[in-house]
A and B are shown apart, each in its own frame.
Chain A
Amino acid sequence: MKLNIDEYAHLRSPIHAWQPRYKLIGLGALMFAVAMVETLWLVPVIMGLTALLYGLSRLPWRYWLQRLRYPSFFLLGVILVLPLMSGETVLWQWGPLTLWQEGCWAVVLIVGRFLSILTLSLLLFGTAPFLQTVKAMRSLGLPATLTDMLLLSYRYLYEIADQFLRMKQSMRLRGFGYAPTRRIPLIPQRRDLQVFASLAGTLFIRSYEQSERVYQAMRLRGYGNSRSQLAERDRPRLDPWSAIATGLSLTMAIALVVAEYWIGMKA
């Protein structure tokens, strides 16, 4: 199960050199500024801006396309449904099918915002090791219990995913899914549900038992004494490049919000 988000965190680029704590502030502000865009004229601006930042990061475009695989179903749904379902001005009509102008504009807006925010998220999480980004969240006030849960879940995610794949493989080797059974359309079989419930239940029990051993190992290393946490709340010193990058991204975010407000007022 390949889940690595930070496989390109080792590259060298201006975005990689940006300290995670300040990158979180700068790119986070930019993401919300993009979410505020309601004007069509600003869609090429936000897409150009995010493409420029992505180019600066030196992350491969293949990586961007890989991350687009799951959300592409949503994009396809929006592109197919919205222009035919929503709007007031008819662009084209053929029998019961009507293409609405407002629906088409809505598609451009939603898809533009979606691609821009997705790209900014990739820049945020793909250009630094995930653990450093979590520590940056902690330094910005994420509660200690939540940070510890996040770190531990991430630490064991791959291990549990591998266990799960092995269990599913064992099920297949024992013939599950291959036995000739008569299936009624649209009705799930009780036996299938029972087998999957046992599979998930076994995974939970294994994780639960492993957590006992993890807890004992953590106790031996001092966890739980004097309120020690896995991630300390440290604040790294702001280096000159991170200050410039954060300042620039905050300026761009404010400029987008002001432009949106100004165009909205004129309209």
Chain B
Amino acid sequence: MHLPDGLLSAPVCLGGYGLTGLATWYSLRQIQRDPDVSRNMPKASLLTAAFFVASSIHIPVPPTSVHLVLNGLLGTVLGYYAFPAILIGLLFQAVILGHGGMTVLGVNAVMMGVPALVAYHVFQLRRVWPWGSDRPRLGVFAFLAGALGLGLAALIFFALVMTNIPAAMDAQAERTAIYGLTLAHVPLMLIEGGFTAMLVLFLHQVKPDLLGHHGTP
């Protein structure tokens, strides 16, 4: 789910870079508040590389397979480091694989990164949620974070594609297509949410330090 070069007009691309600049500034400001930033930076960097590699996992869904976006998971594990991590991952994908592109890097970063930050805050809600025991609560909020991360990214993706096709298209048809394509992603949201919940529960059991205490690794 990447917007490619050539599809969007230059003002939209520049707007994407502007919003990415703002989101990066905000994330880096939050990261600088971390008392141990020089220790956590290498952790976030290596986890960024690991996320980039893990995004090649394909889950078998007969008769085909789906690949995971993992932006919600990035938010849950990396906290505010998620936005810079997504920006770096998208740069690698554009440069190394040809997924996405350089002019749309900003737009793609907003599309994936802002839902990741939302997912992080949704995951943090588990701390104030008074009901349920620890482990099921962790699983439920991780599921919501993973599903929401993908759902919001899909909504932004289809809205951008439909409103930027440079040919006449009926507004009503445009709206129907956006809603329809986003709804078609609901099964994928369930898969992404389930995968995120399973992975977070695995990390909680094997290496709880990795889930961090304040949204940082």
Contacts and interface: CB of A to CB of B under 8 A. Distances in A.
Majority-rule SS of B interface residues? helix
Nearest to B217: A208
B167 A103 contact: yes
A68 interface: yes
Interface in B36-67: 37-39, 41-54, 56-57, 59-63, 66
A211 B61 contact: no
B85 interface: yes
Contact of B101 (A36, A117, A161, A196): A117
Interface stretch (B115-123, B124-132, B152-160, B190-198): B190-198
A204 B60 contact: no
B45 A196 contact: no
B7 A198 contact: no
Interface residues of B, number: 73
A188 B209 CA distance: 30
B19 interface: no
A198 B5 CA distance: 35
Nearest to A103: B167
Contacts of B178: none
Majority-rule SS of A interface residues? helix
A67 interface: yes
Contacts of B14: 32
A7 to B, nearest CB: 11
Nearest to A217: B42
Contacts of B61: 186-188
Contact of A201 (B98, B101, B199): B199
A124 B198 contact: no
- Of A111, A145, A196, A223, which is in contact with the most chain B CB atoms at under 10 Å from its CB? A145
Interface in B93-113: 94-99, 101-103
A215 interface: yes
B49 A207 contact: yes
B98 A145 contact: no
Contacts of B169: 85-86
Interface in A104-120: 105-106, 109-118, 120
Contact of A111 (B6, B24, B56): B6
Interface residues of A, number: 88
Contact of B9 (A35, A74, A160, A218): A35
Nearest to B100: A71
Contact of B166 (A28, A106, A223): A106
B166 A110 contact: yes
B203 interface: yes
Contacts of B59: 188, 192-193, 196
Interface string A68-107: 1111001000100010011110000000000010110110
A114 B46 contact: no
A199 B198 CA distance: 11
Interface in B1-36: 4-10, 13-14, 24, 28, 31-32
A82 to B, nearest CB: 7
Interface of B: 4-10, 13-14, 24, 28, 31-32, 37-39, 41-54, 56-57, 59-63, 66, 77, 81, 84-85, 87-88, 91-92, 94-99, 101-103, 165-169, 187, 191, 194-195, 198-199, 202-203, 206-207, 209-210, 217
28 contacts: A3-B97, A5-B96, A31-B102, A31-B103, A32-B14, A67-B98, A100-B167, A111-B6, A117-B6, A117-B101, A117-B102, A118-B98, A121-B95, A125-B95, A156-B45, A157-B92, A164-B56, A183-B62, A188-B191, A190-B194, A192-B59, A193-B194, A194-B198, A196-B195, A201-B202, A211-B45, A212-B43, A223-B38
